[in-house]
Structure 1
Amino acid sequence: MAGGSAIRGSRVGAGPLGETERGDAAPRVRVSYWCANGHETRPSFSSEVQVEIPETWDCPRCGFPGGQDQDDPPAPPRNEPYKTHLAYVKERRSDADGVALLDEALAALRARRGG
C-alpha cells in the first residue's frame, strides 16, 4: 500500500493543469490605482463584459482608497474619535434643554410619589 498522505486521483510527476485542460483565459484589462501613500494596485477586469470600472479601489497594503490619477490620489478617510452616548446627547440638546427635561422628570416623579 502507498503512503497515507497521497492525494487520490493523482500520480507521481503530474503537473498542474494547463490552458489546454482548462480552456482559454478571458481577455483582461488592468487598471492602475494609487493611494495617498503612493502604493500602486493593479486589479484586472474582464474586457468582454461591459462592466463599469470603479473610480476608487481600496489599497491592499494600507487600506486607503486609491484613485486612477497618480498625481492626485483620494484623501484618506478622516477617522472620528469614539463618542459616548452623553456626547451625542449634548450635541442635540443645550444645557437649558437638559435642565428643563430634568425638572419635568423630577416633577413627574414627585407627583407619582405624592410629594
Structure 2
Amino acid sequence: MAGGNAIRGSRVGAGPMGEAERGDSAPRLHVSYFCASGHETRPAFAVDAAIPESWDCPRCGLPANTDAENPPPPPKIVPYKTHLAYVKERRTEAEAKEILEEAVAALRARRAAGEVIY
C-alpha cells in the first residue's frame, strides 16, 4: 500500500468548490448612484432590502444619489475659525477699543504701583 495523505490536494478550511454545493445566491438588484464628480457606483442589494436614498462614492467620497441629472452638491467645508474671529463676531470695533483702553489703563496702574509685570 502506498503511503500518503488522504486529503492531499486540499487545504485546511477549504469549503465547497462550486455553487451547487453552496446553494443558490439570493437574487440581487444593482442600483446606480451618481455623485457631483460624475462617478457612477453600482452596489448590489438584495431584492427585498430597503434601498438607501444616498450612498458615499467610493472614488471621491462625495455623497451620491440615484438621480443622474441632479446629483447632490458637495458638502460645504467650513473653514477653521480663530479665537479672534469668534471675538469679532461678538464685539463691535467700538466695544473692542473700549475694552483695550480699560486693559491698558489697568496695566499702567499696576506698573505705577511698582508691580512686576511679565
TM range (shorter): 0.5 to 0.7
Say yes or no: does 1:37 pair with 2:40: no
Mark the CA change 1:108 to 1:72 in structure 2 (over 3 Å): closer, same or farther.
same
How far off is 1:70 after superposition?
A: 0.9
C-alpha deviation, 1:97, in angstroms: 4.1
Whole-angstrom distance in 2 between the partners of 1:20 and 1:105: 84
TM-score normalised by structure 1 residue count = 0.63
Alignment CA distance shift 1:77-1:9 (3 Å)? same
> For the Cα contact (< 8 Å) 2:29–2:44, is it kept in 1?
yes
Give unpaired runs (5+ residues) of structure 2.
Answer: 1-9, 108-112, 114-118
Q: 1:25 maps to what in 2?
A: 25
Aligned equivalents of 1:78, 1:84: Cα separation in 2 = 19
Q: Which structure's CA Rg is the greater one?
A: 2
CA distance in 1, matches of 2:30, 2:68: 15
- Identify unmatched segments of 5+ residues in structure 1: 1-6, 110-114
Q: CA deviation at 1:40?
A: 0.4
The 3-state SS of whatever aligns with 1:86 is helix
Normalising to structure 2: TM-score of the pair?
0.61
> What is the rounded CA distance, in whole Å, between the counterparts of 1:17 and 1:78 in structure 2?
49
- Structure 2 partner of 1:89: 87
Identical aligned residues as a percent: 62
- Paired amino acid for 1:73: P
Pairwise CA RMSD of aligned residues?
Answer: 3.3
How many correspondences in the alignment? 104
